[in-house]
């Protein structure tokens, strides 16, 4: 990862890809500066939060001028490692995994699913999108050859932990876990868990208990 010197809060870091995508669009339409109010309207984050976020990396907007789009873009590109291509492995080519293979991540950023793995005979050896599906028996070998450091887990939950243990042994540092299993990993591995049921429940809870305005203050 580049830019190790910049330590920003996790909540801010999570919003960076959102800002980045919007700034890229602004840049392609020829815009040179943007106000926090404009950004706020576009990315639906309140402008006080945007100003605080940007202050962490020294982008201090000027009153009446706003932020320089080029400066912000080059900062984000470095911070989000957009100059480097990160090759990702997808494990489990079922309903969810197949959908991810057909979705071209590269349109948005520099992460790309480079290889996929499964155990099912009818999947191994096929190509989905332009990605080849390898057998799990070859996982360690292929991951090393392709220099993979990030994996997406879309296998049945009961296999998630043992696969995670194997991934940690070949130095995969990031796991995006779509299975309901809670994973135990060494301190050098980072897991992001995406649980659609929990997200939906929390959305419904927020709709019931907060107005949208209150939620923005909480952010």
Count of residues interacting with ligand NAD (CB under 6 A): 23
CB of 3 to ligand NAD, least distance (A): 32
The answer on whether 96 is annotated among ligand-binding residues is yes
CB of 160 to ligand NAD, least distance (A): 7
Tell me: does residue 156 bind ligand NAD (CB under 6 A). Answer: yes
| Closer residue to ligand NAD in complex, CB, 163/176 | 163
What are the Cα distances from residue 209, in Å, to 98, 110, 212? 36, 38, 10
**Strand, helix or coil at 95?**
helix
CB of 181 to ligand NAD, least distance (A): 7
Among 16, 18, 73, 96, indicate the residue that binds ligand NAD (CB under 6 A): 96
CB of 175 to ligand NAD, least distance (A): 13
The answer on whether 129 is annotated among ligand-binding residues is no
Q: Which of residues 169-198 bind ligand NAD (CB under 6 A)?
A: 178-180, 196
Nearest one of 87, 145, 141, 83 to 113, comparing CA atoms: 87
Is 3 in contact with 78 (CB distance < 8 Å)?
A: yes
Return the ∠ at Cα 104 (arms to 100 and 107), rounded to 5°. 140
Give me the residue whose beta carbon is nearest to ligand NAD: 94
* Cα 49 from Cα 16, distance rounded (Å): 12
The answer on whether 30 is annotated among ligand-binding residues is no
The answer on whether 61 is annotated among ligand-binding residues is no
Nearest one of 65, 15, 69, 4 to 44, comparing CA atoms: 15
Is 216 in contact with 192 (CB distance < 8 Å)?
A: no
* Cα 91 from Cα 68, distance rounded (Å): 41
Q: Phi and psi of 89, rounded to 5°?
A: -105, 140
| Closer residue to ligand NAD in complex, CB, 120/207 | 120
CB of 207 to ligand NAD, least distance (A): 21
The answer on whether 177 is annotated among ligand-binding residues is no
Task: Please list the residues that pair with 175 across neighbouring strands.
Answer: 151, 191
* Cα 135 from Cα 209, distance rounded (Å): 47
Q: Which of residues 112-151 bind ligand NAD (CB under 6 A)?
A: 117-120, 123, 136
| Closer residue to ligand NAD in complex, CB, 44/169 | 169
Annotated binding site for NAD(+): 92-97
Residues engaged in binding ligand NAD (CB under 6 A): 91-97, 117-120, 123, 136, 154-157, 159, 163, 178-180, 196
């Amino acid at each position: 990862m580049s830019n190790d010197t910049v330590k920003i809060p996790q909540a801010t870091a999570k919003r960076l890809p959102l800002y980045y995508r919007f700034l890229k669009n602004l840049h392609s339409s020829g815009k040179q500066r943007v106000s926090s109010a404009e950004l706020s309207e576009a990315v639906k984050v309140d402008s006080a939060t945007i100003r605080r976020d940007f202050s962490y990396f020294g982008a201090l907007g000027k009153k009446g001028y706003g932020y320089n789009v080029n400066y912000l873009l080059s900062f984000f590109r470095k911070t989000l490692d957009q100059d480097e291509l990160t090759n990702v492995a997808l494990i489990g080519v079922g309903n969810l995994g197949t959908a991810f293979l057909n979705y071209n991540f590269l349109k948005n950023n520099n992460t790309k699913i480079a290889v996929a793995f499964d155990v099912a005979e009818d999947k191994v050896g096929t190509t989905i999108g332009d990605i080849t599906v390898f057998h799990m028996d070859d996982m360690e070998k292929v991951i090393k050859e392709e220099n993979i450091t990030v994996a997406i887990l879309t296998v049945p939950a009961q296999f998630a932990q043992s696969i995670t243990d194997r991934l940690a042994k070949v130095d995969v540092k990031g796991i995006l876990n779509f299975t309901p299993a809670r994973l135990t990993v060494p301190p050098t591995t980072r897991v992001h868990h995406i649980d659609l049921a929990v997200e939906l429940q929390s959305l419904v809870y927020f709709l019931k208990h907060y107005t949208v305005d209150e939620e923005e203050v909480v952010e």
